Amino acid sequence: MKIDKTIFRRYDIRGKYPKKFNEEAAYNIALGFANLFPEIKRIVVGGDTRKSTPSLVQAVINGLIDGGKEVIDVGIVITPVVYFAVCHYNFDAGIVVTASHLGGEFNGIKMVLKNATPTLPEDYDKIKNLIINNQLLKTKSQNSAIKKIDAEKDYIKYITSKINIRKPLKLIIDSGNGTARLLPEKIFKLLGCEVNTIYSEPDDSFPNHIADPYHKENMEDLKKEVLKKKANLGIAYDGDGDRAGFIDNKGNIINGDDLLMIFTKDTFDKKLGPIVVDARASMALIEEVEKHKQTIELTVGYHAAVLSKIIKNNAVFGGETTCHFYFPLEYYLTDDALFASLKLVQIASEKKDFIAFLNSLPKYCVGEEIFIEFPDTKKYQVVDNFTKIAKEKGLDVNDVDGSRINFKNGWGIVRPSNTSAFIKVKFEGKTKNDLLDITRKMINLMDGSGIVMPANQRKKIGL
């Protein structure tokens, strides 16, 4: 059977619809998933609000049914609701049709196993090989069936039971024309907050901005509304609702490093234990955790890898600078942006002066993450070569995800994107001068290994 191999990423499946990822591919992937895990019986299926999603969901359901599985159809929901359903009702697996924060021309699949544990890169390779080698088997059985349930109702009840907002806050929500729609507003209102939502109508052309709060240009409209309405906090959700970005009442973005710091510090008074973060995390966080005599584990910058290490280390918190967060002490082990935003609002409601609290957080000078376009077929090899050169020069290299090079007063990282055709770089220094010095050193190393930063990006960072 033919299938575009490039849609298989390390931790999910994504491609342009219908040229690369279509109903035939979705059907074969679902049947491959059923073949790969014969012990699995009941699988939750849901999808986002893209126009291509309903037919792709049906193709996934058909593949699972032909693979002898019982399908629990939860409809069009945010990704965390699918994960919740897997955990809460003790189902065996879950599949979400979504391309997350990518544009409307894309779609894809995320797959999890029992307890919403992510499938591994080798699982995706095995499914791909089953398809390519014409080894798919139809094993439709008497147990094959489709059952529809309303998981969102129990999700709302459960998630609100975990949060106590001490004083109601005024919030602005930006759903980004994605799958979150008015669900966050509904939940926060149940907890007593005053809420206004912008861009709640689903539209996969994303007419206002791409539903990706990691990039600051996508937060501008939310910032304006927060300042205009004099809100306490602004919250923006990505396309499938597993990530959120935040604006404080002064219009400042609360960046991923600060959020990791806030959520980590929240664990200190509850239960001390390991913290897991991606390899782009600030050294200020590392120092703060070590100051409390706790261990911090760095991992690959993708939520499935973070979760795997949380489970392995029995961590009390884990997350990414790109705003995937896990709260093992309080919630199912899923990256749920709504729960993360509820947690932040709860913490903010407990502070006499939240802005003063934010300003008190330990921090250094961090440069913005830079995206360098690079072909998927070459990016891993080039980063491996960069890592090899750095080690040959005797530098202090952490190669858990690409190459994080530690210097006396900071660090820099070069890593391949796990979801798109980019190499990503980021630098941090204790002072602005340290940041500039480390940036120069890293770019010289990159130039010597074939990773050339475009002139406009060099100019932007002052080189």
What are the beta bridge partners of residue 365? 429
3-state secondary structure (DSSP) of residue 312: helix
Question: CA dist 304 to 116, 247, 326, 374, Å?
Answer: 10, 26, 11, 23
Phi, psi of 415 (to 5 degrees): -145, 150
**Distance (Å, whole) CA 328 – CA 339:** 12
DSSP state letter for 67: T
Dihedral sign for Cα atoms in the order 237, 263, 434, 379? negative
Q: Could you give the angle at which helices 376-392 and 432-447 cross, rounded to 10 degrees?
A: 110
Residue 124 · residue 118 · CB < 8 Å? no
What is the CA angle 73-75-79, rounded to 5? 100
Q: Could you give the angle at which helices 23-36 and 121-132 cross, rounded to 10 degrees?
A: 110
What are the beta bridge partners of residue 297? 276
Residue 397 · residue 403 · CB < 8 Å? yes
DSSP element (H, E) containing 310: helix 303-313
**Distance (Å, whole) CA 163 – CA 67:** 40
- Of these residues, 52, 100, 308, 349, which one is catalytic? 100
Can 282 be counted among the known catalytic residues?
no
DSSP element (H, E) containing 269: none
**Distance (Å, whole) CA 68 – CA 91:** 15
Token pair recorded at residue 183 = 């669900």
Torsion of CA 28, 29, 30, 34, to 10 degrees: 100
Q: Name the residues annotated as catalytic.
A: 100
